Structure 1
């Protein structure tokens, strides 16, 4: 894989599991879920972008991106994402967490036998409050629907490093580095019951607003929950995600400005 292709895979990997900031566990109570007092939900997700376009920059070197999912799966090391929601009446508390990492070691062409090492880690932890502004029914069967507003803060940490290992006693400095910041997040979500097993979901989230170099992060989800069991639902749909991040490190400009879209899949538990 070339240097520029590795930069592209790094960018794709940092967005691979971004879904939990949006869809989350149901704020609309699951069928038969007790609505007196607190109710809880936990969700685990995978976002699989089928196309990523934009620009990635590490140490002042930019790569134009036009990637598919296979480009990042070749170098994926580990990924996990989840979200917890607790609701009491119209008020909710949301906690989400995300971790994704890739590693790639490849030999560089030439007689010296040098190796190119790529290490990427992204993690975040967010805490949001939520308030249900609409709780009503529609249609001849009086199916329920809700609209929630959400807002809070998210801690982010991103590592994007490229290093070269040579046979000699001295290696070139590592390019890229680690960035940490806290950013505001706002969002809205609508959910509508279709029947006892199916629920539609649409959500929008905005984050960054210049905090830590993240000018704007946008996420849009449209999908469904299917609940064949009393306490468990399957969730799936389609997601659009974009981020415009830039900063300057000691090794040079560090940035990625990308758009992604593709299906998401997950499972939810209610208790």
Structure 2
């Protein structure tokens, strides 16, 4: 029986891809703060995990996600003053799968694959535009950039211990992002966020994500956030035992909570 379980654990005030942040829709000469935590359900996860030259494919559809509680948690913390912002975000993903090796000396044999990835980003943000549509609803556009620390741990184990390969890679890379936020209606905000990192630094050809989200404000401080997110990573490096990497894509809905600290 094929088994795939994709679990996540988020940092309570640090995380990946907050959505509509109401702070960027208004101006202020004092510092204001915004944090969020959300659950992300990867209804589609595909790609390849490679350890010491042995590779195994990952393929998760909506049915698998519903059967095996395919879930990850995510969040973010921002501080803004006027057009300037400081942003911290983190993320954790864990993957465990029984699959068939497709490359390397163990090709064609059943293996257990484990892969966990965590990162922490520290960025500065700048709001390039703040205005209103013809209907009076506000909008804002900001750009972000900084550095991201990554930790990727992977292993492939054959039945009976015939193959036991694994290791951990840690690296820093640049990260950039853009976000468009707008007021949808009274108490409702929307946002579209795109970020990218790696650009060939330390073996990460490119990691990127796109998020479309909506926030329902209950009051001046609390919001329910929900939407859709896609994440993609293509990382590979050379180790003593052979190539080590992950080429994975995940898509799915998310729902969470956001809080503003004035």
TMscore range, shorter length: 0.7 to 0.9
Of residues 146, 150, 158 in structure 2, which corresponds to 1:152? 146
Q: 1:118 to 1:98 in 2, by over 3 A?
A: same
Whether contact under 8 Å (1:248, 1:254) holds in the other structure is yes
Aligned mates of 1:78, 1:136 — CA distance in 2: 37
Q: What SS does structure 2 have at the residue aligned with 1:212?
A: coil
Shift in Å, 1:260: 2.2
Q: 1:181 to 1:71 in 2, by over 3 A?
A: farther
Aligned mates of 2:115, 2:58 — CA distance in 1: 17
Of residues 14, 18, 21 in structure 1, which corresponds to 2:16? 21
Q: What SS does structure 2 have at the residue aligned with 1:194?
A: strand
Aligned mates of 2:94, 2:248 — CA distance in 1: 18
Instruction: After superposition, give the CA deviation of every residue in 1:183-219 in whole Å (9 maximum; x if it has no partner).
Output: 1000100000122310111111111111121101121
Of residues 180, 185, 188 in structure 2, which corresponds to 1:195? 185
Q: What SS does structure 2 have at the residue aligned with 1:22?
A: coil
Superposition pairs for residues 57-96 of structure 1, below 5 Å? 57-68=50-61, 71=64, 80-96=73-89
Shift in Å, 1:28: 3.6
Aligned mates of 1:255, 1:72 — CA distance in 2: 24
Aligned mates of 1:218, 1:79 — CA distance in 2: 17
Superposition pairs for residues 232-247 of structure 1, below 5 Å? 232-247=222-237
Q: What SS does structure 1 have at the residue aligned with 2:220?
A: coil
Whether contact under 8 Å (1:42, 1:83) holds in the other structure is yes
Whether contact under 8 Å (1:75, 1:104) holds in the other structure is no
Aligned mates of 2:48, 2:120 — CA distance in 1: 26
Aligned length: 249
Counterpart for residue 167 of structure 2: 177
Shift in Å, 1:247: 1.6
Whether contact under 8 Å (1:192, 1:201) holds in the other structure is yes
Larger Rg: 1
TM-score scaled to structure 1, two decimals? 0.78
Aligned mates of 2:73, 2:118 — CA distance in 1: 10
Structure 1 unaligned runs (5+)?
106-115
Whether contact under 8 Å (1:25, 1:83) holds in the other structure is no
Superposition pairs for residues 1-271 of structure 1, below 5 Å? 1=1, 20-24=15-19, 26=21, 28-29=23-24, 35-68=28-61, 71=64, 80-101=73-94, 119-140=114-135, 142-163=136-157, 174-271=164-261
Q: Which moved more, 1:200-209 or 1:77-86?
A: 77-86
Aligned mates of 1:73, 1:162 — CA distance in 2: 25
Shift in Å, 1:164: 5.8
Whether contact under 8 Å (1:148, 1:189) holds in the other structure is yes
Q: 1:120 to 1:241 in 2, by over 3 A?
A: closer
Shift in Å, 1:143: 1.3
Q: Counting strand residues as a fraction of each chain, which structure ranks higher?
A: 2
Whether contact under 8 Å (1:149, 1:188) holds in the other structure is yes
Q: What SS does structure 1 have at the residue aligned with 2:48?
A: strand
Whether contact under 8 Å (2:23, 2:80) holds in the other structure is no
Whether contact under 8 Å (2:24, 2:140) holds in the other structure is no
